[in-house]
Amino acid sequence: MTYNRIWIAEWMKLRWSIILSLIWIGPLLGAINSIASRSLALNLGNEWLVLWMAGSFQYAYLSIPIMTGVFVALICRSEHLNGGWKQLLSYPVYRYQVYLVKYFIAVSLVCMMQILFFIMIILMGLYVGISDPIPWTQFLKKVGLACLATLPLAALQMWVSYQWKNFAAPLALNIVFTIPVVLVSSSEKIGAWYPWSQPYLSMVLYDMHKNQVPYSFYTIIGCGFVLLLMIGMVHFQRRDWV
């Protein structure tokens, strides 16, 4: 079976009613928070950047990590019911194909959420009448970097979610590790290495340093993504499904 067929089949299995009811909540709350707290944000010279950072704070440290876990858990849930994994893997497919397709569907949903946040920030800025020019290039870079920063976390969540049949267990674990994000992110030694803090660092903290993202951050993201994805995929291929 080709990747295209697996991809189409997996998209059709998604519970879109649930996903569509959840995917906009984080971006909307972030956009509302951007209006409520923008007066407390640093003066970045452009009102659009102030609005972005004010909205990103709650969105980046809570919504992105939690919703990443929710999307992955929903994607794995259908297979946990009634021996779905065993049935799925009985078809003429490679296990790594199934794993990669499910992983990148989860990443795609996170990217869709990022785009919604971007759109809502623009709409909020127009609503309050910001007269400064919209920094399209900077905004698009921030959206792209935030998507990249979720890759290691999504890989870790995928590894955890396919092992636990209980839908609530990986979500509870995800929330526990999300709570200390702000505290951990302030540490220069471990902040960039903590998967739950990486979206927050990419969208908020590095704004305070004139949008300069250290090259080491990209290296950590890339290495973490490859390592966690490979570990999860190798374990998935070797596991006996019953």
Average pLDDT, the chain: 84
pLDDT of residue 34: 83
pLDDT of residue 242: 58
pLDDT of residue 147: 93
Question: What's the gap between Cα 128 and its chain centre?
Answer: 28
Write the pLDDT tens digit of every residue in 160-171.
988 887 778 888
pLDDT of residue 205: 59
Q: pTM for this one?
A: 0.89
Distance CA 66, CA 88 (A): 27
Confidence of residue 1 (pLDDT cuts 50, 70, 90): low
Residue tagged 């990103």 (tokens) = 56
User: Residue 241: enclosing H or E segment and its boundaries?
Assistant: none
Please determine, for residue 211, whether its predicted confidence score (pLDDT) is greater than 80.
no
Nearest to 75 by CA among 43, 46, 38, 100: 100
Please determine, for residue 176, whether its predicted confidence score (pLDDT) is greater than 50.
yes
Question: What's the gap between Cα 90 and its chain centre?
Answer: 30
Instruction: Evaluate whether 22 touches 70 at the Cβ level (below 8 Å).
Output: yes
Please determine, for residue 209, whether its predicted confidence score (pLDDT) is greater than 50.
no
Confidence of residue 21 (pLDDT cuts 50, 70, 90): confident
pLDDT of residue 194: 93
